[in-house]
Structures are given as structure tokens and as C-alpha cells.
Structure 1
Amino acid sequence: MSNSRRLLYFLAILLSVIYLLWRVFFTIPWHSNIFTLIFALLLVLSEILSNATGFILIFFRMLSTKTKWNLKIPDYSKTQPLPDVDIIIVTHNEEVELLRKTVNAATYIDYPDKSKVHIVIADDGNRPEVMALAKKYHIGYSGMEDNKQAKSGNINHTLAKMHSPLFAIFDTDMIPFSGFLRNTVPFFTENFQQLKDDPDHTDPLGFVQTPQSFYNADIFQFNLFSEKIIPNEQDFFSRDINVLNGGNKRALFTGSNAVFLRSAVDEVGDFPTDTITEDFELGTELNMAGYVSLATKVPQSSGITPIDMKGVIKQRTRWARGVMQSCRNLHIFTNPHLSMINRIILINAYFYWWAFFRRMIYMIAPILYALFKIQVVNANFWILMVIWAPGYFLLHYVMGDTSGMGDAAKIRNERWGEVQETFFAPYLFIPVLLESIGIKAKKFKVTSKNVTYSLKDKLYILPYLILWTITLVAIIKFNYGKYGSEILVGSVITFWLLMHFINLSMCLFISMGRPVYRKNERFIRRVPGKVQGNDGKWHPMKTEDISEGGVAFATTDGADSDIKENDVVNLTVKHQDYNVQLSGKVVRISHRDKTTIYSTQVKVKAGESQNHYLQLVYDGANKTLPSVQDTWVTPFDELYMNLIVRVRTYERKLSHYFNRF
């Protein structure tokens, strides 16, 4: 990093600190009524915390650049024996067909000695159908009944039966890629050798966390028609923040897709059972015990994320409450066993979940002034412009600039972050508040990945609709009748009202939902094969994309005129050295770059073909979804696009309705 850029970052922080000092000492209305004073204090506290989390992110990015830290995957150690690895697939009550995909993928994981890979299903439902699945795939089964300790109890029960020096954890829906062990285990074999060569200057490796990755569009991508524009919302943490944590040897465990040193987990007493986020707590306990943790950047597995309001909000509420519980259990503010870096990371994680409470404060503050003349900030417009504006806009520039430092791609900018915070804010701020004062939720269930849309689901729109309406009224009332200098003086309030109005408009579109027509996700997979048309001739072809129920392909010999729409065809596609047998019907013929593409609904022949085909589909990330955001498309463009798309949808519905008469 250049000195000029470093100076710019320090200047942004300095100006922001000056602004915060001014806010604390000169703008709080101490002589106002109790309501105004409390809200004013909450607002300034929210600003302090927001800036602090931004400072920490900038500091970690600068630190990673200064140390030139770059995690490279080593080769298997030639001087260390290849360790046995237990692969534990954890299931509660998920569908067996979903579990089958993960089990199938686990059997295809590459390892120099496959006899040293031991796969087991940890089933706390003790279900006969899951036992039958394990038997079908010739893997281990660990069933239990009356589990009172949730996921931790299930894992601990299974670990007691396993004995390998390393073990990996996968959730039911997290399908591992074939290279998973190749991209994780060498970190341990390298560490074993380093501990042998220089034990006094080498920290033992506790676990390696690979990113949480998803093969379907999340609720923001899908409901905002943005599958080609923005990456998955969770990518920001998994492929950016946690990689930075790992650069400080303190990556957080996120519940799945990680490999552990068994003796380290035994040392800290197995998976903790007094929290609903056992992953977050276990990772920290390992760090406190002297073990380091790393996070890789490239996904090594992929799962399914919920896209219905109920499922997403329930999932995030569980995470929020769980992190609060774990932070309380770990005593993150006072625990003497936490290193400074570890403490900063945990405090940052803790205050992340307060971002939704802060977002509510930010939305309400300008409304109070615009509608009721309740002034929670005593500030002259011109002084505000001099003290607030430079630090605010420079800090936002720096936050965007640092997100592109080195190899860190721009996964999410500040504006998208605000939209996502606004979306969760109405539903998370109360659970966070309750959990912070020790009021725990009575019961939590595993989040269902099935999409459901009922009348009750549609009611989730109400908080956004209410806030959107109040904000719109505030904008109109505050600016009505003003002109000239009055508009200028009130521009700060109008600016914040407009920003929140845009964010809430996006939330309305998200909560409106979108019809789900596709049964299976498409993956870009270009593999060779053959197709047999009605004339009985076989033509060489290459697939373009595939799904569990379909294949799009192009013939490669130029003789494509004998294949027509609605033709029944037979296909074989190559996976490893196996020819997967398929049959189906051509449902669409299209043209792309002078190439004829045949889209076919297919069925897989029974037997080994089904396993090979599932592996062909799910072995690798879904490249149809973006890994970085399209910086040319702003949330304002998104807002306009969604408005147009939805208006046209309603026009078609109305046209269809009136045409019936």
C-alpha cells in the first residue's frame, strides 16, 4: 500500500473521530425531555459503534496488506504420514433426498488413500430411512434418540465413536466438492511438520474453515431479480471478513465445511452444549486454548439457502441470539485468556448483531424531526457540513476502496450493506435486545429450505410498508412549502429520509416475493458426450449447463438438423471414466453465438448413473451466480428495474383478466 493511500485512510479515521467527539460534547440535547435525551444518546452511541466497526475493518485490511499475508494451500507433506479423516454429516429432520446429495458427494472426495476416509451420518432422529441410506452407500451410521443438546449433542455422540486425528463437519445441505480434503488437510500436515521442526515458534492448528457457499440465489438475489448482479449476501463474511480473521489466525467456525484437529476439540471438552451457536463458541475456545484457525477464500462445498421470508428471518434470529449467548458465555469483554486480536474480532462480531438496532435508530431519528420537530441533535447546518460531511463521505470512500485491496474483490459495497441491514432490522432488533438482557428464546428449530408462500408469509411486508409510508409522509411534509435557503438548510434531514426511503423500497420488493418456477438449479458444466436422435444416429455433443432434471447441449459435428423440438432423445455424458445414461425430450431449441442449443428434460437411468450424475451436477460452485457485484449497477438502478418488472407483471395479469371477458 502506498504512503499516500495509507495517509488517506488515517485522515478518514481522524476526521470521523473529530466528528464523534463533537457529537458527544456539543450536540446532545441534555436539557430536553427524557424521551428526546434517551433517543439522542442512543443515536450517538449507534454512530460510535458504526464507526468503530468500520475502523476495525479498515485496520484489518491495512494489516493484511502490510504483512502481505496470503494463504496458499500447501502440498501434502512428504515427511508426515497421511492422516485418517472422519467425515461427519450432521442431520436432524431434513429430507432424505437432500441428505443423499451430500452423502453421495462425500463418497467422491479425493484423497491419496481413500481407505483413510471414514464417512458417517450423525442422525439424532434415529430414522430407519437414514440408516438405509447409509447402508446403501456403505458408510457409517450413528443414530441417537432423545437428544437434549441439539446439534452439539449429536456431534459429540458421534465423535465418541470415531478415532481419526482429523475430522470434517458437514450440514445436511452442504455438499462437499471432490477437492475438499486436498484443499484443507495439507494445512495440518504442514503444521505437524513445523511443530516437529520448531515447536517453540509454531502454534498448533486447530481448524481450517472453508467458505459458506450456496448454489441457489439468496432472497436478495432472487426477489430483486439480481442473480447476475450481486453475490450471495453471506459471501461478504465468508470470503472477506473471515479470511481477514484467518489472516490473524483467529478465523471463526461457521458450523459446516471445516476440518478439525480431533485432539484439540477433545482438549476443550468437545462441542459446547450451552448455546445454539456451538460453532462460534467452539472456535473461540480452541483459540483460547492456544490453537490457531485459518479460513480459505475459495469455496470447497455448496449448500442451499432459504429464500422465503419466514425461513430467512428465523435463521438470522437464531444466529443473532446464539452469538449473544456465546459472547456472554465467553465473557468477551473481561476474559483474560483472550488475546487482543481475538477480543477485537469477537467484540466486532457481537456488535454486528446490534447493527439492526442501530439501523432502526437511524431510520426513526430524521422522522422524529421531520414530523414532530423533535431535535435529537443540536447542530447548526453549516457547522454540520464542516464537521460531519468530510469525515462521513471520506470514510465511505475508504470503506469502498479497502474492499478492493489486493485480491479482496468487491463483494458488497456500503449501499448494499445498508439495504440488507434495513431488511433485517425490524425483525432482529427486539430479539437482540432481549438476548442481551438475558431473556432467551424457549425453542429453536432447524431452518427449512423449502419455499413457502401463505397469507401469513405475506404479512411480513407490514413493518416495511409502515416505515415506508411514514418516511414518505415525512419527506413530503418536511419539504412542503420550502424554497431557496430553507431547502438547503434542511437538506441533511432530506438526504437521510431519501436514503432510508430507497432502502425501504427495496425491502418492499424483497418481501413481495417472486414466483418460483424452477425445480432444480442449473450449473455450468461443459462435458463431452453423445446424443441419439429419432433417426437412431449418435452425434457427439458437449453440455452447456445441467441440472438434476435437465441438460442443455450443443452437437459438435455440425449435423444437428435431424433433432427437433419434442423429440425423444438418449444421451450419455462423461463423468470421470463413466458414461452416465440419460433419456429425455427436447423442450426448447435456441441459438447462442451461431451455436444451436438443445434444452432437454431428462431422467437418469437407475443405478450407478444416478450417483455419477449427482456428482457431475454438484461437484463445483454454481458459476451462473456472480461471485462479485456488478459495480455498474447501483441500488438506484435496481430500484428502477424492480419497479418496471413488477409493473409489467401486473399489467400482464390485468390484461389477461380483462381479455377473459
Structure 2
Amino acid sequence: MSNKRRALNILAVVLSVIYLLWRVFFTIPWHAHLFTLIFALLLVISEIISNFTGFMLIFFRMLATRQKQDLQIPDYDPQQPLPDVDLIIVTHNEDVDLLRKTINAATYIKYPNRRQVHVVVADDGNRPEVQALAAYYHIRYIGMEGNKQAKAGNINHALEQLKSPLFVIFDTDMIPFSGFLNDTVPLFQQNFQELKDDPDHTEPLGFVQTPQSFYNADIFQFNLFSEKIVPNEQDFFSRDVNVLNGGNKRALFTGSNAVFLREAVDKVGGFPTDTITEDFELGTELNMEGYISLATKVPQSSGITPIDLKGVIKQRTRWARGVIQSCRNLHIFTNPKLSWMNRLILINTYFYWWAFFRRIVYIIAPILYALWKIQVVNANFWILMIIWAPGYFLLHYVMGDTSGRGDREGMIRNERWGEVQETFFAPYLFIPVILETIGIKAKKFKVTSKNVTFSLKDKLYIIPYLVLWLVTLVAIIKFNYGKYGSEILVGSVITFWLLMHFINLSMCLFIAMGRHVYRKKERFTRKVPGKVKLASGQDWHPLVTSDVSEGGIAFTFTDTGSMPLQQGDEVEIQLKRRRIWITLTGKIARVAHRGKQPIYSAQVSVAPDHNRDNYLQLIYDGANETLPQVQDAWITPFDELYMNLVVRTQAYERRLSHRFNRV
């Protein structure tokens, strides 16, 4: 980090602190009505906490730069014994076809000695079909009945029957890449050697967390037509924030895709069963016991994320309640076993889940003044501009710089996108967070379904966004109607906040409106050589794929005298993965042209045998490069808003046109 950048970071923090001191001591309406005073205090507390979380990110990034925190994955150490590893795939009632992909991928994971890798499926549903699947892949099946301790109970039950020094946790929907162990186990070997060489100055490694990565577009990417513009919403935490946590040796466990030291987990009594976020709590318990935790930056597995409102909101509600539960169990504010760094990370995580309550406060505050002249901030306009504006805009500028860099050079997420995402979750998360904080627990939680549903009930989730959007629109019109000259200038701060929230809520409306899902299977960019012939012919012609999916491939010919294929032609295709040929049968569905070169899209099927296993591995072994790793810095939420208006208007025009044409 350059001296200029460091100076800007420090200046942003100093100006923001000056603003917060001014807010606390000079702007609170102490003599106002009780409602106004309470809301004014909520607003200033929200601002303090928001700034605190921003300061923490800046601090961790500056610390990472100063200490040169850059986790390097070593090679396997031939001087160290190669540890056995148990790969535990945890399943409850998920779809068996989804589980098949994860099990299949686990059998392809590379390791210097594959006999030391033991793949296990832990099924607390005790399902015969899962047992049959395990038998097909020649892996161990551990069934369980009557589990009343959720995922933690299932894992603990499996661990009682396993003994490898290292074990890995995979959720059903998290498909590992073949290089997973190569990116994690050497870190343990390195730590073992360091403990041997210098035990007095080396902390034992408890677990290594790899990023949560997804091969389908999330609800923000998909519903906002942004699959090529912004990364997955969870990338900001997994590939930035948690990597910074790991740089301080206190990475958080996020539930899947992590390798554990068995003796460390045994030492803390296994996975905790008194919370619905056993992952978060276990990681902290290991840290308190003296074990460090690291987070890698490059994904080594990929899963599916829900894109329907009900599924996404239920998932985040479970996470929010669970983290609040675990923070209470761990006593993060008073626990003497927590180091100061560990405590900072946990408090920062705790405050994150209060961001949604703060967002509601921020939305309501300018509306109160615009519609009812309820003033929750006593401030002169010019003093406000002098004290608030410099710190606010500079902090957002440096936060844009500290919002992370992905595997490729670029930003993972800027502050404006963060506000859109906070606004989206705010109406549905702030009440569960409050209830969990005061000890009112949810009666029951279910595993989040990854199947997309768009029933009438699902459409009702749009109501809070629509109500807030309409109220904000009315507030903008009423507040500015009839104003001229200096009146507009003096009211510009209120108008600014109303417009910002109006844009965010407009984006939320588009997200809640959804988008029709045409593609049944996700498409992956894969350039694979192969050959094709007509089903009734004998002459093979060489090809290379541009993308593949479980139901189809797109390809071009690589020879000059390519065979003429037409839509509807039955074909046989063979793809070469390393030294293995994979046979597919199918039909040409579409012929497009890129310049003079035709691009063929074929619907394909594969026999349920080793062909299928190899084809699934070809598809899922690696990140889905059709989705971005970094944000397009040239596209703003304003551009996104305009694009959605245009695309959705065109869609409605087409529907109307088709309807009238039928008539």
C-alpha cells in the first residue's frame, strides 16, 4: 500500500470520527418528543456501528499490507508423513442427483496416495437410495436415525466411526475440484514441521477454509441481468473479508469446503449442537483453544445457490439467527479466552447482521422529515456539509479501494452494491435479528431448497419493497414540490438520501420481480477437444467445445472441410478428457454463426455409467468461468437500473405483441 493510499485511509477515518463526535454531542434533539428522540438515538448508533465496521475493514487491509499477509500454498513435504484424510459429505434430505455430483467429484480428488483418502457420506436420513449411491461409487456409507441435533449431530456421529488425522466437510451441494487437497493439506504439513522445529513460537493449525464458490448466478446476478457484471454476493466475504481474517490466523469456518485437524476438533468436544450455525461457533472454539485458522483465496469447490426469494431469505434468516445464537453462547464481548484480534473479528461479524436493522433506520429517517417534518438530526445545513460531506465521501472512496481484489486484478464489490444487497435483505432480517437477540428463537429450521419456486405466495415477498418504494417516491415529490433556489440547496441532503434509497429500492423491486428461468442446467466454459459424426454415418470430424452442460454442448469444427450439420441431425460425439474418451449422443438444436464459422449447439445425453461420471467431472472440475470474479468497474447501479428498465420493458412489449398476434 502506497504512502498516499495509507494517508487517505487515515484521513478518512479521522474525518469520520470528527463527524461522529459532532453527531453525538451537537445534533441529537434531546428535548424532542420521545419517538423523535428514540429514533434520533437509533440513527446515531447506527452511524457509529456502520463506521466501526468500515474502520475494521480498512484496519485489516492496512495490517495485511504492513505484515505482507499473503498465504502461499507450499508443495507436499516429502520429509513429512502423508496424513490420511476423511472426506465427509454431509446429507440430510437433499436431491440424490445433486449428491451424486459431489460424491463423483470426491472420487476424482488428487492426492499423492489415493489409498489414504477415504470418502464417506454421512446420511442422517438413512435413505436406501443414498446407500445404493455410496455402493455404486465404492465409498463408505454412515447412516443415522433419529438425529435431533441437525448437521452437527450428523457430523459428530460420523466422526465417532472415523480416525484419520485430517477430515474435510462438504455439504451435499458443494462439488469439490480435483485439486482441493493439494491446496490445503500442504499447509498442515508445513505447520507440523514448524511445530517440530520451533514449538515455543508456533501455533497449531486447526483448520483451513477454502472459499464458498458457486457455479450458478445468484439472485442479484440473475434477476438483475448482471451475470457478466458483478461477482456472486458471497464472494466479498469468502474471497476478501475471510482471507483478511485468515491473515490474522482467525478465519471463520463457513460450513463446508474446510479441512480440519481431527485432534483439535476432539479437544473442543466435537461440533457444537447448541446453535444452528455450528460452523461459526466451532471455528471460534478452536481459536480459543489455541488453534489458528487460515483461509485460502482460490476456490477449490463450487456449489449451487438459491435464486428464489423464499429460499434466499430463509437461508439468510437461518444464518442471522445462528450467528446471534453463537455470539451469545461464546460471550464475545466478555469472554476472557478471546484474543483482542479474535474479539474484533467476532464483534465485526456480529454487527454485520445488524446492518439490516440499520438500513431500515437509514431509509425511514429522511422520510420522517420529508413527509412529517420530524427532525431527528438538529444541524445547520452549512455546518453539516462541512463536517459530514468530506468524511462521508472520502470514506466511501477508500472503502471502494478496500472492497477487495479477486483472483484477477479488480474489485469484488463496491459500496454501492453493498447497499443494494443490504436493502434487499433488510425488510426480512431485521426482525429475526432483534428476536434472536432478546432470546426468542425460531421453532424449526429446514435445509434451504435449491429448487426454484415462483408461486403466488413467493410473489408476495415483493410487498415490503413496493411499500417502501412508493413511500420514498411520495416523500421525494412532496419534499421538493414548490421549492426554488436556496430551498432546494438547503434540502439537498434529504433529497440525496431519498434518491439513494429510491434507487436501491428500485433495484430490490427488480430482484423481487424475478426472471424466467429457461436453462435447466448450468453452462460452463470448457474448451475440450473431440470429434463428431452423424449417428447414421462413419466419418468423424474434429471439434472443440466452447461450453458444456449436463444437457448440451456448443462446439465448432477444427478442420477446414467440416461436415454440413443441420438443425435436427442426430449425432454421436466423443470428447477427450486427458486420455479418456467420453461418448455422448444427441441432436443438433441450433446453428449460429460467428463470422464465417458456424457454432453448433447440441442437446446431448450420456449413458449412466463411467461415461456419465467422466462427463460430470469434465463439467464440474473447476470454476464456472462464464461468471465474473471481479466487478465491472465501469457499470454502476444507475447503469443497472437503466438496463433493467429497458430489458423488462422490451420483454413486456414482446408478450403484448404475441398476445395480440394470437388474437
**TM-score, normalisation: structure 1:** 0.99
Residues 235 and 406 of structure 1, relative CA distance in 2, 3 Å threshold:
closer
Partner of 1:564 in structure 2?
566
CA–CA separation in structure 2 for the residues paired with 1:445 and 1:517:
27
2:581 corresponds to: 579
SS in 2 for 1:434: helix
Q: 1:120: how far off?
A: 0.6
Q: Which residue number corresponds to residue 491 of structure 2?
A: 490
> What CA RMSD, in Å, does the superposition of the two structures yield over aligned residues?
1.0
Within 1, Cα distance between the matches of 2:314 and 2:281? Answer: 20
Q: Structure 2 CA distance, aligned partners of 1:232 and 1:595? A: 33
Q: CA separation in 1, counterparts of 2:310 and 2:406?
A: 38
Distance 1:640 1:132 in 2: 51
Report the Cα distance in structure 2 between the residues aligned to 1:267 and 1:612, rounded to whole angstroms: 40
**2:506·2:641 contact (CA, 8 Å) conserved in 1?**
yes
In the alignment, which residue of structure 1 is the partner of 2:603?
601
**Aligned in 2, Cα 1:246/1:404: closer, same or farther, shift over 3 Å?**
closer
| 2:455 counterpart residue number | 454
Report the equivalent of 1:225. Answer: 225
CA distance in 2, matches of 1:546, 1:539: 18
Question: Contact 1:73/1:186 (CA < 8 Å) preserved in 2?
Answer: yes
Q: Secondary structure at the match of 2:543?
A: strand
Once the two structures are TM-superposed, the CA of residue 592 in structure 1 deviates from its matched residue by: 2.5
1:389 aligns with 2:392: no
Distance 1:70 1:40 in 2: 43
Counterparts of residues 195-206 of structure 1 (less than 5 Å) = 195-206=195-206
* Alpha-carbon distance between aligned partners in 2 of 1:610 and 1:559, rounded to the nearest angstrom: 31
- In 2, Cα distance between the equivalents of 1:256 and 1:225? 28
Shift of 1:535: 4.0
Displacement of 1:262 in angstroms is: 0.2
CA distance in 2, matches of 1:270, 1:504: 43
CA contact under 8 A between 1:403 and 1:409: conserved in structure 2? no
Preserved contact between residue 239 and residue 406 of structure 2 (Cα < 8 Å)? no
Q: Give 1:431 shift.
A: 0.2
Is 1:374 aligned with 2:391? no
Q: Which amino acid aligns with 2:76?
A: Y
Q: 1:192 is aligned with what amino acid?
A: F
Is the aligned partner of 1:357 residue 2:357? yes
Unaligned runs of 5+ in 2: none
User: Partners in 1 of 2:456 and 2:167 — Cα distance?
Assistant: 44
Q: Distance in 2 between matches of 1:232 and 1:4?
A: 31
Contact 1:65 1:406 in 2 (8 A): no
Q: Show the counterpart of 1:84.
A: 84
Alpha-carbon distance in 2 for matches of 1:576, 1:263? 38
1:647 paired with 2:649, answer yes
Code of the aligned partner of 1:604: V
Map of 1:268 onto structure 2: 268
Counterpart residue number, 1:413: 414
Note the 1:489-638 alignment, pairs <5 A.
Answer: 489-533=490-534, 534-592=536-594, 594-638=596-640
Maintained 8 Å contact 2:405/2:412: no
Following the alignment from structure 1 to structure 2, what is the Cα–Cα distance between the partners of residues 284 and 162?
23
Give the Cα–Cα distance (whole angstroms) in 2 for the partners of residues 394 and 295 of structure 1: 30
Instruction: Say which is worse superposed, 198-207 or 526-535, in terms of deviation.
Output: 526-535
| Structure 1 position 186, deviation (Å) | 0.3
In the TM superposition, residue 594 of structure 1 has moved relative to its aligned partner by 4.1
Q: CA contact under 8 A between 2:404 and 2:413: conserved in structure 1?
A: no
Instruction: After TM superposition, list the pairs within 5 Å mapping 1:239-318 onto structure 2.
Output: 239-318=239-318
- Distance, in Å, in 2 between the alignment partners of 1:185 and 1:593 is 47
1:356-415 deviations in Å (ceiling 9; x for gaps): 000000000000000000000000100000000000001111111223579774110000
The 3-state SS of whatever aligns with 1:182 is helix
Contact 2:119 2:140 in 1 (8 A): yes
Do 1:105 and 1:619's aligned partners in 2 also have CA atoms closer than 8 Å?
yes
SS in 2 for 1:231: coil
- Comparing 551-560 with 619-628, greater Cα deviation is found at 551-560
Single out whichever of 583-592 and 560-569 deviates more from structure 2.
Answer: 560-569
Change (3 A) 1:311 1:404: closer
In the TM superposition, residue 574 of structure 1 has moved relative to its aligned partner by 1.1
Distance 2:294 2:190 in 1: 13
The 5 A counterparts of 1:53-132 are: 53-132=53-132
1-structure distance, mates of 2:412, 2:461: 27
Asked if the contact 2:29–2:40 (Cα under 8 Å) also holds between the matched residues in 1, the reply is yes
CA distance in 2, matches of 1:193, 1:273: 33
What code does the residue aligned with 1:531 have? Answer: V
For these two proteins, the number of residue pairs brought into alignment is 661
Q: How far does residue 4 in structure 1 lie from its aligned partner after superposition? A: 2.4
Amino acid paired to 1:37? L
Q: Distance in 2 between matches of 1:608 and 1:394?
A: 57
Give the deviation of 1:130 after TM superposition.
Answer: 0.5
How many Å separate the matches in 2 of 1:618 and 1:88?
A: 19
SS at match of 2:527: coil
* 1:232-258 per-position Cα deviation (integer Å, ceiling 9, x unaligned): 000000000000000000000000000
Question: Aligned residue for 2:208?
Answer: 208
How far did 1:660 drift?
Answer: 2.2
TM-score using structure 2 length? 0.99
1:133 maps onto 2:127 in alignment: no
**Kept after mapping to 1: 8 A contact 2:89/2:121:** yes
Contact map agreement 2:176 2:300 (CA 8 A) in 1: yes
In 2, the alpha carbon distance for the partners of 1:378 and 1:413 equals 31
Deviation at 1:527, TM superposition (A): 1.2
CA separation in 1, counterparts of 2:399 and 2:365?
Answer: 24
Aligned with 2:625: secondary structure? coil
Q: CA separation of 1:565/1:637 partners in 2, compared to 1, >3 Å: closer, same or farther?
A: same
Provide the residue aligned with 2:190 in structure 1: 190
Q: Matched residues in 1 for 2:136 and 2:285: separation?
A: 37
Percentage of identical aligned residues: 77
Match of 1:463 in 2: 464
**For 2:127 and 2:568, how far apart are their aligned partners in 1?**
42
Amino acid at match of 1:163: K
Counterpart Cα distance in 2 of 1:127 and 1:383: 67
Distance 1:19 1:185 in 2: 48
Aligned counterparts of 1:467 and 1:65: Cα–Cα separation in 2? 41
Which one is further off, 14-23 or 590-599? 590-599
Q: Is the 8 A contact 1:243 1:297 kept in 2?
A: yes
Distance in 1 (CA, whole Å) between partners of 2:6 and 2:619 is 45
In structure 2, relative to structure 1, the CA distance for the partners of 1:146 and 1:180 (3 Å cut) is same
**Secondary structure of the structure 1 residue equivalent to 2:93:** coil
Q: CA deviation at 1:59?
A: 0.2
Cα pair 1:87 1:119 within 8 Å, conserved:
yes
Unaligned runs of 5+ in 1: none
Alignment of 1:6-25 (within 5 A): 6-25=6-25
Match of 1:573, as an amino acid? Answer: L
In the alignment, which residue of structure 2 is the partner of 1:234? 234
Shift of 1:658: 1.7
Aligned counterparts of 2:405 and 2:125: Cα–Cα separation in 1:
47
The equivalent residue for 1:343 is: 343
**In structure 2, distance between residues paired with 1:356 and 1:617:** 37
Asked if the contact 1:86–1:118 (Cα under 8 Å) also holds between the matched residues in 2, the reply is: yes
Q: Report 1:133-172 matches (<5 A).
A: 133-172=133-172
- Give the deviation of 1:606 after TM superposition: 3.4
Name the CA distance, whole Å, in 2 between partners of 1:201 and 1:100.
44
Runs of 4+ residues over 6 Å off in structure 1: 405-408
